[in-house]
Amino acid sequence: MHSYSLIAPAKINLYLEIIGNRPDGYHELAMILQSIDLADQIDVHAASTQTIRVYCDHPQVPIDQTNLAYRAAELMARKFPDAFSNFGGIDITIKKRIPVAAGLAGGSTNAAAVLVGIDLLWNLGLTKSELEELGATLGSDVPFCISGGTVIATGRGEQLSPLPNLNHINIVLAKYRSLEVSTPWAYQTYRQVFGSTYIKDTKDLVARANAVHSGEMVKAIVAKDAAEISQKLHNDLEKVVLPAYPQVLQLRELFASQEGVLGTMMSGSGPSVFAIVESPAQAEVVKQQIRTAIPDEDLELFVTGTITTGIQIIRNS
C-alpha cells in the first residue's frame, strides 16, 4: 500500500493583538506566527477499505471525528469523492511530540499534514493556496501550518503574508502536561473584560490589522535581531490567562529571571510558555535551571528553535 510520512512542526506566536469583533463572530487579529522544530510525525497510508482510521501513541489525543486530522481526511473525501472512491480509505498514524492542548497548533499542524499527504497520495496536484483554502475551513491555524516559516496573520488568523524567514533562534519551551486552557474561554473572557476598547468600524479594523506590517516587531524580524525580537514579544491573551492560571504566570516569571533569557511569553492561548535565549548551550542551561526550580514531573521542557518550513515530506513508499 502506498504511504507518505510527513513532519508537522508546531508554531509559536511572536505577536498576538486582538483588535475587535468581526461580523462572523470571530475576533479580528494581528499576529506574527513562527514555526519551530518541535514536531509530530504523521504517516498517511492508503487503506483497503472505504474508511478513515486514526492511530496515536498519546493517550490524550482522540482518534474519532473530534480529531482535526480525522476531519481533514473527511474533508478531502467529501471534496474529492472520485479520488476517495478510486484510492480507498485512509489510515493516519500520529507520532506525538508536540504537547497536547498547549497553544502550539498541535492539532492544526496534524490536520495540515493530512491535507498535504492525501493530496500526494491521491495525485490531486493541489497548489499550496488551494490546500490553505481547504485548511481554513478546519481551523484558523491550519493554513499557516501548511506553509510555515514566519508570517503575519490577519483576519481570524487565516490571511497570511510572508515575512523574511527566521532560522536558528534558540528557544526553551515549557508546558504542564495536565494543564489546559480553553481557547474559546480565553477569547470570550478577553471580550468580556476588554470589549469596550475594541475598534468598532469595520474599515478601521482592517486598517489596524494591517498596521502590524510596519510594526517594530517586523523591523526586528527583517533585521534577524533575536534580542530586539525578544523585546517586542506581545500577547494580548496574557492579560486574562496569567491572572487565572498562576502556574503559567510562575513559568513566565521564572523564565524572565534566568540569565541568558532575552525574552519570554505565553504562546497563543497558552498554557505553553517559551523563552528566547542566546545560544543552544544557554538553552540547555536554562532548561536545567527551570527543571531544578520546578522538579514537578508534570512539567514538560523542550529545547527547540525557529525553522523556515511547514509540512515536510520525509518518506514515501
Spatial separation of the C-alpha atoms in residues 102 and 181, rounded to whole Å:
8
Residues composing the chain: 317
Q: Are 15 and 221 in contact (CB under 8 A)?
A: no
Spatial separation of the C-alpha atoms in residues 160 and 148, rounded to whole Å:
10
Side-chain half-sphere exposure of 92, counting CA atoms within 13 A: 31
Residue 286 in marked binding region:
no
Around Cβ 165, how many Cβ atoms within 10 Å? 17
Q: Residue 158 in 3-state DSSP?
A: coil
Q: Which helix (H) or strand (E) holds 192?
A: helix 183-194
Residue 100 in marked binding region:
yes
Q: Are 292 and 170 in contact (CB under 8 A)?
A: no
Q: Which of 40, 43, 141, 236 is catalytic?
A: 141
Strand partners, 32: 15, 152
Residue 116 in marked binding region:
no
Nearest CA to 36 out of 227, 165, 136 is that of 165
Residue 111 in marked binding region:
no
Q: Are 53 and 90 in contact (CB under 8 A)?
A: yes
Residue 128 a catalytic site member? no
Q: Which of 11, 96, 175, 232 is catalytic?
A: 11
Residue 209 in marked binding region:
no
Cell numbers standing for residue 272: 505553553
Nearest CA to 68 out of 154, 183, 186 is that of 183
Nearest CA to 235 out of 28, 12, 15 is that of 15
Residue 106 in marked binding region:
yes
Around Cβ 160, how many Cβ atoms within 10 Å? 21
Residue 293 in marked binding region:
no
Residue 310 in marked binding region:
no
> Cβ contacts of residue 206 below 8 Å, gap of 6+?
28, 154
Residue 96 a catalytic site member? no
Residue 47 in marked binding region:
no
Residue 25 in marked binding region:
no
Annotated binding site for ATP: 99-109
Annotated binding site: 99-109
Catalytic residues: 11, 141
